[in-house]
Amino acid sequence: MKKKSNRNIVITGATGDIAQSLIKLLTQDQLFLLSRSLPRPNLPAHIDILINNSGFGIFEELTNLSESQIDEMFKINTTDLIKLTRVLHPDKIVNIASISGKIPTAKSSVYAASKAAVIAFSDAIRMEGKEVLTVNTGPVFTKFHANNGDYLKKVGKHAISSEFVAEKIVKNLDSKRRELNLPFSMALAAKARALSPKLFDKVSKKFFDYK
């Protein structure tokens, strides 16, 4: 399929590593970057693609999280995403969720719940006629884990680069694909858990409980 160009593309979480990798690849498009640390640009009336990339996570046991931390995770990961999608009404939506929405782990209860909500939201608006690509990533080498440096070391080969994620997204911007689960090993794990969640949780705890 021939790659389209000169599209109006909005990217949230624009200072993040995945967003920066996307920016380097989308040189033939008109990009509008949204971030809490950047001035809000004037957006065009028509948006071809909205890439919901903003994300925030605190990995602690539930009892160690404050109400404000819980609210902030859902606001950034879920509520803001839903509201912006409704307001901009783009032709295509790319929602960057997380494999945590399919494989929740200890110390990720609220984060996983917020990302599971993004997956469910994506599926629901797809049934309303929206074209949606949901991207569920496993651990990615980004500053998202800046406060949890040992985590990426523990997950080892299962961690992927922001460049890899961006390349996969760009490759599928003009496709009808519904979902990307990255990396392949995590995609297989998600399928295994869907088939037998109780057994999967018991067997895999030592492999996924790294946070």
| Residues 39, 41, 47, 48, Cα dihedral to 10° | -70
Among 54, 63, 12, smallest CA distance to 33 is for 12
Asked whether the beta carbons of 117 and 97 are under 8 A apart, the reply is no
From the candidates 111, 121, 200, 208, give the one annotated as an active-site residue.
Answer: 111
CA dist 46 and 25 (Å) reads 21
CA dist 131 and 160 (Å) reads 26
| Residue 180 token pair | 């990307």
Q: Which amino acid type is present at position 75?
A: K
Cα torsion angle, 115, 127, 174, 93, sign: negative
CA dist 92 and 164 (Å) reads 21
Residue 143 is classified by DSSP as G
- Judge whether 151 counts as a catalytic residue: no
Q: Where are the alpha helices (DSSP H) in 128-183?
A: 149-155, 162-171
Q: Which residues are marked as active site?
A: 111
